[in-house]
Amino acid sequence: MSTQNRCQLLDITREIMRIIEKQKIKEGVLHIFCPHTTAAVTVNENYDPSVQSDISKTLSKLIPHHAHYAHTEGNADAHIKAAVMGSSRTLFIHNGTIAFGSWQGIYFCEFDGPRTREVWVKVLKE
Amino acid sequence: MSTQNRCQLLDITREIMRIIEKQKIKEGVLHIFCPHTTAAVTVNENYDPSVQSDISKTLSKLIPHHAHYAHTEGNADAHIKAAVMGSSRTLFIHNGTIAFGSWQGIYFCEFDGPRTREVWVKVLKE
Amino acid sequence: MSTQNRCQLLDITREIMRIIEKQKIKEGVLHIFCPHTTAAVTVNENYDPSVQSDISKTLSKLIPHHAHYAHTEGNADAHIKAAVMGSSRTLFIHNGTIAFGSWQGIYFCEFDGPRTREVWVKVLKE
């Protein structure tokens, strides 16, 4: 997938749903893994997009792009944000699809874009 | 379950333990999932309850209730805290019960209560 | 394992890789669990070690060692950092080894060392 901004939460719910539903596993566990060190995955509100920009902006306020970092590639903040948000999330599969609570969606968290990115998924049968 | 305050860490160790032990799975993996976007789950110290209030208060200091958020429902902070803490945790099942390190317990993290809340659990056999 | 400093990210990639490869599971899921309440596990950049010190120092700036904490053991900050970073991570097993993205490694996050610490791992077959 492609991200458009340096920092951005991208809704990947439908893409993951489509992959999962093809696997025809009725009950199980879905693992999502982010193979990048300046990005993360999260599960959060999928109704009001301003929530996603609030998350992204608040993280950038707490962990600024430029500060006295030792890492000299100019993206130390992105590594720290990725570590705080986490590289993996686990959700449940019920009746062949992802079991969400109301308002939940899956987001790719870009902290050093724009870039071409990947997310890996795996489903384990119950 | 019911939460009593706007922000609160609730010890749910015993409730989850009871559900797990009924399943009679000897060895495996326990997944805990929070189906809410303004709450989270964590594993932390279950001895001194002041640790739980320190976690909650420090998060509120870093991510204040009122700030220049774009989300206008008055709970943008709760969504951000939930994203930082995470919606899922994985623990191990050993000898038919949850394998904890010393002092560990499971906590529901309420960031927009008081409310009626749920936690979902699933055990996969090894 | 032994940690050397109060706060430190320790590269445990090789040790975990060695354990996994002995299990001879071709495809599956690797769960890593930290049984301590003042430490955590993370997946992040394994090329430039300054990234690890940037993560550790930025966390200490946001969550200082000494502040008005209720927990009186002098390590409230360590519990909070552990909660924010998380006690578990999930990775994928492919072709009998851990599937990493470029530059990824597994780190033990010590927030109240130096101490003797453990990390628990479990692999589930796909």
Q: How confident is the model over B76-124, as pLDDT tens digits?
A: 999 999 999 999 999 999 999 999 999 999 999 999 999 999 999 999 9
ipTM rounded to 2 decimals: 0.97
Q: What is the pLDDT of residue A53?
A: 96
As given in the structure block, the two tokens for residue C39 are 């430490």
**Which candidate in A51, A88, A94 is best for mutational testing of the B interface (most B CBs within 10 A)?**
A51
CB contact under 8 A, C79 and B45: yes
pLDDT given at position A54: 97
CA-wise closest residue to C106 among C4, C32, C50, C6: C32
Q: What is the pLDDT of residues A60-101, one digit of tens each?
A: 999 999 999 999 999 999 999 999 999 999 999 999 999 999
pLDDT at res. C121: 98
Task: Return the closest-CA partner of residue A87 out of B95, B100, C70, C85.
Answer: C85
The verdict on B42 touching C (C-beta cutoff 8 Å) is yes
With respect to residue B3, please indicate whether it lies within any of the assigned structural domains.
no
Query: How many residue pairs bridge chain B and chain C with CB atoms within 8 Å of each other?
Result: 77
What confidence category does residue C4 fall into, taking pLDDT thresholds of 50, 70 and 90?
A: very high
In this predicted structure, what is the pLDDT of residue C80?
98
Q: Which domain holds residue B75?
A: 8-125
Q: Any chain B CB within 8 A of the CB of C92?
A: no
Confidence of residue C64 (pLDDT cuts 50, 70, 90): very high
Q: Is residue B2 part of a domain?
A: no
Q: Could you tell me if residue A2 is inside a domain?
A: no
Q: What is the pLDDT of residues B4-60, one digit of tens each?
A: 999 999 999 999 999 999 999 999 999 999 999 999 999 999 989 999 999 999 999
CB contact under 8 A, C90 and A88: yes
Mean pLDDT of chain C: 97
* Residue B1 is assigned to a structural domain of this protein: no
Determine the pLDDT at residue A67: 95
Residue A3 belongs to some domain of the structure: no
- Å between B116 CA and nearest CA of chain C: 23
Q: What is residue C9's predicted lDDT score, i.e. its pLDDT?
A: 97
Nearest CB to C45: which of A33, A79, A88? A79
Chain-centroid distance of CA C27 in Å reads 23
In this complex, the residue of C54, C59, C99 whose CB is nearest that of residue A79 is: C54
Residue C30: strand pairing partners: C91, C123
Distance CA(C82)–CA(B103), nearest Å, equals: 13
Entry pTM: 0.97
Average pLDDT over residues A12-18: 97
In-domain check, residue A93: yes
pLDDT at A105: 97
Task: Please count the structural domains in chain A.
Answer: 1
Domain of residue B102, CATH code: 2.60.120.460
Phi, psi of A18, rounded to the nearest 5 degrees:
-60, -45
Residue at token pair 């709450």 = B39
Cis peptide preceding B114, ω within 30 of 0:
yes
- Cross-chain CB nearest to B79 (options A44, A84, A126): A44
Cβ-based contacts of C82 with chain B (< 8 Å): 44
